[in-house]
Structure 1
């Protein structure tokens, strides 16, 4: 396949688009999902968990940006690991990214359904979730510039709404409410609190999950080596401030335990302060949907680019690497992820896991993929510093090797504790890995042919084709 005929994505995104994607991918994590961590750790325990996770993400993003600017490829982590460790390294990173990005949207879609159910009690949240898939897959197929501009707009609205939430509930904030039984449901720190801190890791990660997905838009970004560092640094700072602000204000307005196992903690927290009939509450529900939509829409962009890149490299069936003849978007990749997500929405009809809410289990599955991705990415950074010392690096990880080592060490600890506390979900994760591994071995010839058409992958000096 020649350079002229290989599937290609259109370069049309600005730095603001990329910042909007980076924040938008994640911002639904401020609206729901994280409060499940209170059920495990309590407010104070979860505060410790979130601080540890924030350190990991800050050091990770500063390190990951070096890879993103050096190798601006739609495959993101898949491409970096391929360059560092060859085909099998690319497979592991690609699998991890797909798990993260394909399983995050159904959790977000279910929360969209829960928010709509507040306004329309007769509406089935699952049917609303499916409707969200249909609408935003269509928007993603329509064109990347349209999709990214929409993403930027809804992200700005979502940030505004979170600030409104904090302002409206602040008169009802009480530190004594936030700290009441704040150590895993107890008033004092104990061994149970330590266990709760580690058990809550997936839900603290949900505050920041998928920010790395902006890397998958690098191939569609104008001047990626210049704008990516600004987008990532601005994005992580924005998200850290919002995460801690939302957590403090929601936890301090009343009995936080009533918010710990639901998909709409912010409307319920606001209801405690302003009542059910307040216009502020209805505004939060409606505008709050923009936060969920921003992440849902952005992650659809992310998973579709990952499927597209892996198919282009021969790891997935080739038709997933085709782009729409007019829109230049990977339409089959967008639809494929949507089918899997819709099946996940209805999976609790067939599968019950550990008595946990369906959303919590989907979040945990997505986080398993994310943590594996972070580990492989940091290992790739260390490897490429040695094997490709002359590679152009427009942005270099600050405080190297300390920052990537911190990110790697914390990610390994988080993975080990997640396995301990979520053994059934981890077994399902391994089952999906085994199924993917079969296709990996069957696709050797397709990968060999595709490698010749992808200059960024074929430049890799690492292991030979396997």
Structure 2
């Protein structure tokens, strides 16, 4: 890399040993078991069950959003079954970046890496704002944005000094978050009424019409939020004890867990009372519970405090995810080399952690820049993150098809079932999502394209610093 010797930075918690590339290259310690990987898969996503998705009700209504959510759930299910083939075949900390680079070369790696980076850097500020909203319920004098920034500072520090216990922490808070969602469903179930759920359920109307499709398509980003970031398990693939077995189990069990929770939360919240009051807020579950138990109930306080576990699980997990992605890209020369610096004492990518945090905190306080297009600050941040995810899904499925064609003999411990139908459906569904998102979110799409263009300019200007990295990782065929 420029300004450094040919020795590459050590990876997080690495030892010199087996690696996805050449023998002797830095490799992550293989310490994660199946339950820990499942905890990461669900924990990365589970905050999406607590907030964000309800913005889809504002455009689609409850019934319209059910249709949108089921379509997106089908996309994610087929995607995960297909993506698992890539993850087990190429267990690399760069995740989609590594798959695309092997399939399409450095430019493909850039596109997948940049899209993944947008997804994982812009998701945390939305989650942090939800944490702030939950804390504001308990402490009305606490400004939600200040609380969000405080969450960043606390969990960036935890990630810097405590990476060894990160997976165990994820598993514990994920189990608590699932328990809390089940408690929510149980508490509101006595007051549940289908009449509440179906009233105005088609984009504000009681009956379906062709105009309902408009709202259903507009709600796609918020249905994706239910499942966004589950693919982050790929970034822990180098650390799995037995990736051939544990990753498929973790992914499949994870997506089934999330689909069940998403349907349950959506239905019970919508049937608790006037769902229109929940459509544009960051804390729909506590507000839905108010319909049943009142504002001062002990259940309310329990929900707020336990609900933080779900937000914390995703927030902490995605900080781990974005730091690994920034680190991997910097290590390969796709980002400035100084971002790959490892803390001498804690052996964590502290500069990568801090860099993503700076972007996230800036997003939280950028109301005038990010609150446009008639959407709230959180809605636009969610949409930006989803743009990154969808582009990455498209590139990943294209990489799967290309690798099947040009490298048929590649070791594939797990093969996508019903090939080519599963990956084809995931690819077509992602293209539909991308097209509708561009149509309904042209301004956010424009900002996303600007980010990619600026990154591509840097990519073109720094070609020489990547020449050693590609060969060292062994991701491209000689």
TM bucket (normalised to shorter chain) is: over 0.9
- 2:96 maps to what in 1? 77
Q: 1:460 and 2:460 equivalent?
A: no
Moved more, 6-15 or 345-354: 6-15
- 1:367 maps to what in 2? 386
Q: TM-score, normalised by structure 2?
A: 0.94
- 1:344 maps to what in 2? 363
Q: 1:256 and 2:305 equivalent?
A: no
Which of 220, 235, 238 is matched with 2:254 structurally?
Answer: 235
* Ranges in structure 2 where 5+ consecutive residues have no aligned partner: 1-5, 9-15, 17-23
Instruction: Name the CA distance, whole Å, in 2 between partners of 1:65 and 1:413.
Output: 22
Asked whether the equivalents of residues 2 and 453 of structure 1 are also in contact (C-alpha less than 8 Å), the reply is no
Helix, strand or coil: the match of 1:191? coil
1:350, distance to aligned residue in structure 2 (A): 4.0
Matches within 5 A, 1:36-435: 36-435=55-454
1:174, distance to aligned residue in structure 2 (A): 0.4
- 1:464 maps to what in 2? none
Asked whether the equivalents of residues 8 and 323 of structure 1 are also in contact (C-alpha less than 8 Å), the reply is no
Instruction: Name the CA distance, whole Å, in 2 between partners of 1:9 and 1:296.
Output: 22
1:395-444 deviation line (CA, Å, top 9, x unaligned): 10000000000000000011000000000000100111111011100110
Moved more, 445-454 or 383-392: 445-454
1:390, distance to aligned residue in structure 2 (A): 1.0
Instruction: Name the CA distance, whole Å, in 2 between partners of 1:320 and 1:8.
Output: 18
Asked whether the equivalents of residues 14 and 222 of structure 1 are also in contact (C-alpha less than 8 Å), the reply is yes
RMSD: 1.3
- 2:3 maps to what in 1? none
Asked whether the equivalents of residues 174 and 252 of structure 1 are also in contact (C-alpha less than 8 Å), the reply is yes
Moved more, 74-83 or 330-339: 330-339
Moved more, 312-321 or 398-407: 312-321
1:168-211 deviation line (CA, Å, top 9, x unaligned): 00001001110001000001111221100000000000000000
* Ranges in structure 1 where 5+ consecutive residues have no aligned partner: 462-466
Moved more, 4-13 or 99-108: 4-13
Instruction: Name the CA distance, whole Å, in 2 between partners of 1:328 and 1:14.
Output: 21
Helix, strand or coil: the match of 1:323? coil
1:143, distance to aligned residue in structure 2 (A): 3.5
CA pair 127-451 structure 1, distance change in 2 beyond 3 A? same
Helix, strand or coil: the match of 2:211? helix
Asked whether the equivalents of residues 61 and 232 of structure 1 are also in contact (C-alpha less than 8 Å), the reply is yes
Instruction: Name the CA distance, whole Å, in 2 between partners of 1:200 and 1:433.
Output: 24
1:453, distance to aligned residue in structure 2 (A): 2.3
Asked whether the equivalents of residues 64 and 212 of structure 2 are also in contact (C-alpha less than 8 Å), the reply is yes
1:6, distance to aligned residue in structure 2 (A): 5.6
1:322, distance to aligned residue in structure 2 (A): 2.5
Helix, strand or coil: the match of 1:452? helix
